[in-house]
Amino acid sequence: MSNKYPVEIDGATGEVETLPPQKGQRYRCKLDTMQDVKREMAKVYREARSGTIDVQDATKLTWCLQAVGKVIEGSDLEKRIEALEANQ
């Protein structure tokens, strides 16, 4: 079983439970393009649906990802405008 989070075995039931990342532990993911942001939003959604993370936390993370997406959009538009102005 491949899992990037630590697991714990319940002594009573013998079930394997995934532990959430520890506070202070840095989470890394690539967020350079809208595709990256979309992929991370989908991951947050799946984690919320499966109960891995709290829905309220997922909402906050999604808002942050939307903000990152808007910055990427603005940056892309700025580059396109600069290219058009340079061609004139």
Res. 36 pLDDT band, cuts 50 70 90: very high
The DSSP call for residue 88 is -
Q: Identify the residue with better confidence: 5 or 26.
A: 26
What is the mean pLDDT of the segment spanning 13-17? 77
Supply the pTM of this predicted model: 0.67
> Which of these, 19, 26, 28, lies nearest to 53 by C-alpha position?
19
